[in-house]
Amino acid sequence: MSLRLRVVLIAGLALALVWGAAAAWLAHDIHRNLDRTLDERLAMSARMVSGLLQRAALQPGASSPALEGAVSVGGGQGIACQIRSLRGEILAASGDPTLAARAAPPPGFADVETGGALWRTYTLHVDDFVVTTADRVDERDALVRGIVVAAGMPVLLAVLGGLVALWIGIGRGLAPLDALRRQLQARAADATDPVDAGGAPAELRPLLSALNGLLERLSLALAQQRAFTDAAAHELRTPLTGIDTHLQLARLSGGDARDAALDRAGSGVARMRRTLDQLLALARAEVAPAVDDPCPSVLAAVRDAIGSGTNAANGRVACALVGEDRASPMPHSMLVTAVRNLLDNALRHAPGDSTVEVAVECAVGEAACVIRVADRGPGLTAEEMARVGQRFWRGDRGRPDGAGAGLGISIVRAIAARHGGELQLRAREGGGLVAVLRVPAA
């Protein structure tokens, strides 16, 4: 249902209800007042006739022309009049004859039905006569109806006119909404510039500022997404170019040169596979884990991470437990991936003969376990510290081989953020870098 129809229906119904109640009250009041007035007229007519009879000192059985005259005075103007003797005989009557055929009504006001019609009567006992005046009730009702229609027609017109005015007026009042709709419809599908709130009414401004806030966040997310896909494409295209170049070279040359070129193409494939694996790991780290993968022991996960490395790396990693081993609510595989990435970084940057020290620090009652990975590599400068964790940023760019994809820290951060952990990188005393991964303990 359109907003306009809704508002008009609500306002129109309320308006009609109020006007209807007022009209009903008016009609009722008119009816009551008119009844009283007409009753008074009836009584007055009866008293007038009785006054005439008293003044003329007529006796029952007197000549009827005088009585007829009296009746005609009391009657007329839609009022029937009868004069009876105390015994009930009709001495004179005017108006509807059916009423005369009936017995005299009780004194005072009464409602009498005769000949299919309803009568309002007033009966007065005067000396030896009974004077009755009567009104037809349906005539009275017709009169009331006439007055109600005459008074009600303008009200009805006012109500209908009011509804039309409401429809048009609300349409006009909603024009800013319509203008906003048109402005939004005219936008390109990927437009994220803010909507112009300049001429918007005060009621729309909070909505528009909320909308603009949403658009701003959306535009930021889109820009990040674009930067990410751009960088991902670049990171995949670079090894692909290397592979392609060396395959072409293999075709162009022969003998040892061809074998060397194929060898180099193979190393490009390995690098591309690493980048793809890391991209997949990042994607997995960012979505909720689908499988049930409990982590009963943080230490076991760290040992798995150390064990999943190459043999050469194994001898260079020293692992120590401080305190009690604990379980963690985060999935085992995610913890292994996170520690594996920290270890890879440490091993890549540390000098070949140095040891990478891994410490698992857990205590009973603590909410978190701390995993420290410390190396004796070159560490990070303040500028690098700010950039590390940017996707595809590599601290080792320009180095010939063993280069990472630039996603490791991003993966660890994504896993930590997903599962309520935290990663901090600090300079190590005496040179090198310490990665401190805090994971929740169960």
Partner 1 sequence: MRVLVVEDDALIAEGVVAGLAAQGFDARSVCTGASAEAACVDEDFDALVLDLGLPDTDGLALLAALRAQGIEMPVVVLTARDAIEHRLAGLHGGADDYLVKPFDLRELAARLHAVVRRARGRAVPQIQAGPLRIEPHSGLAWLDGDPVALSRREIDVLVHLADARGRWVAPDALHERLYGLDSDVGSNALNVHIHNIRRKLGADAIRSERGLGYRLGWEAA
Which residues form the interface with partner 1 (CB under 8 A)? 230, 233-234, 237-246, 248-249, 252-253, 257, 261, 264, 267-268, 271, 397-398, 400-401
Of 155, 165, 127, 217, the C-alpha closest to 16 is 155
Beta strands, E only, 179-323 = 317-323
Which of 200, 243 has the CB closer to partner 1?
Answer: 243
To the nearest 10 degrees (0 to 180), the angle between helices 332-349 and 298-307 is 50
d(Cα 212, Cα 191) in Å, to the nearest integer? 12
Burial class (CB in 10 A: 0-12, 13-18, 19+), 193: exposed
Least distance to partner 1, CB of residue 180, Å: 33
CA gyration radius, the chain: 52
- Supply the minimum distance, in Å, between the C-beta of residue 378 and partner 1: 15
| Minimum separation from the CB atom of position 242 to partner 1 (A) | 3
- What does DSSP say about strands 422-427 and 117-126: parallel, antiparallel, or unpaired? unpaired
Q: Closest CB to partner 1 among 207 and 260?
A: 260
**The total number of residues written for the chain in this structure:** 442
Q: Are 84 and 104 in contact (CB under 8 A)?
A: yes
Closest to partner 1 by CB, 12 or 239: 239
Q: How far is the CB of 172 from partner 1 (least distance, A)?
A: 47
Nearer to partner 1, 192 or 267 (CB): 267
Closest distance to partner 1 from the beta carbon of 283 (Å)? 21
Measured from the CB atom, the residue of 212 and 267 that comes closer to partner 1 is: 267
Q: Could you give the CA distance from residue 347 to residue 327 in angstroms, rounded to a whole number?
A: 27
Closest contact distance (angstroms) between CB of 275 and partner 1 is: 12
CA distances from 16 to 31, 158, 164 (A): 22, 10, 13
User: For residues 256 and 429, which CB has a smaller minimum distance to partner 1 in the complex?
Assistant: 256
Distances in whole angstroms, Cα of residue 122 to Cα of each of 40, 50, 99, 106, 185:
10, 12, 13, 8, 77
Closer to partner 1 by CB, 210 or 270: give it: 270
Buried b (16+ CB within 10 A) or exposed e, 173-192: eeeebeebeeeeeeeeeeeb
Closer Cβ to partner 1, 353 or 401, answer by number? 401
Q: How far apart are CA 385 and CA 427, in angstroms?
A: 10
Least distance in Å: CB of 392 to partner 1?
Answer: 11
Least Å distance, CB 349 to partner 1, is: 16
Would you tell me how many other CB atoms lie within 10 Å of the CB of residue 336?
A: 21
